[in-house]
Amino acid sequence: MNKVNDNLELMAKTLYDYWFVQFDFPDANGKPYKTSGGKMVWNTELRREIPEGWAVESLSTWINNDKSGDWGKEREEGNYNQKVYCIRGADINGLNGKGEVKSPERYILEKNLFKTLDPHDLIVEISGGSPVQSTGRLAYITEETLHRFDAPIICSNFCKAVTLKNKYYFYNFVYQWNAIYDAGVLFGYEGKTSGIKNLLFESFVTSYDTQIPPTELAEKFYEFMKPLQIKKEKNLKENQELSSLRDWLLPMLMNGQITVKD
């Protein structure tokens, strides 16, 4: 399953690079735009050429609102009676399919249910990191992601949930953000409180400019990505169920409660 997901992710990243980095997205005739002589214009903010008609705005213009995190209580207690799973920075890799998700079960107040995550929400780690790993790791939520849990999910106080204005830019934002993160840019937007690194989220998203493709092209990429992501999430859910079965069986095998016959 992991091998299949790796191949699906490689397909997605290759197409993103081809369309939105090399600018060889399909033109009006279905041919690669830049290679076929599509008009490129110099942009002073980005200091490079981009396709004619593309906008350049800060990342904040993509964002509609954000949701703060919550931690609640370890057990049901008084008005803390709404069961959720809390996504921490340590769970981001697992949520993205690179390891197991071990998000703790928590109980929050009913009035805080507005903090639960919905399809097309994004989770950004805003506190943590290390000397060689910046804050700002990203996980993204789809309807299939939520099916991997038997209760709603929220993010912890060390993360921030973000909702975009237009769902069709969802995967564009994900790959754009990850490219920025992989380039080490977010190291330059960190502060420290009591020795813990914190991402200066507002400063970053309001000052970092990026190209914005036309909506119809973003929608094409979204529709390409959607079935790939559904397949990836189904594989992750199956892996999760197999891991749970293993964790249930292994102790009984070890203490002799069950045996395996030839």
Q: How does pLDDT run along the chain (262 residues), one tens digit per residue? A: 677 778 888 889 999 999 999 999 999 999 999 999 999 999 999 999 999 999 999 999 999 999 989 999 999 999 999 999 999 999 998 888 887 788 999 999 999 999 999 999 999 999 988 889 999 999 999 998 998 899 999 999 999 999 999 999 999 999 999 999 999 999 999 997 777 899 999 999 999 999 999 999 999 999 999 998 888 888 766 655 545 545 555 565 566 666 666 6
**H-helix or E-strand spanning residue 15:** helix 2-16
End-to-end CA distance of the chain: 27
For residue 24, what are its two tokens?
A: 């060889």
Cα–Cα dist 7/11, whole Å: 6
CB 5 within 8 A of CB 15: no
Half-sphere exposure of 72 (CA within 13 A, CB side): 32
- What's at 148, amino acid-wise? R
- Predicted model pTM: 0.86
CB 86 within 8 A of CB 94: no
In order of their start, the domains of the chain are 61-212 (3.90.220)
Cα–Cα dist 233/8, whole Å: 11
**Residue 36: φ, ψ to 5°:** -90, 10
Half-sphere exposure of 167 (CA within 13 A, CB side): 10
Strand segments (E) across the chain: 40-43, 48-51, 55-58, 63-67, 80-87, 105-109, 121-125, 127-128, 138-140, 153-155, 159-164, 190-193, 196-199, 209-212
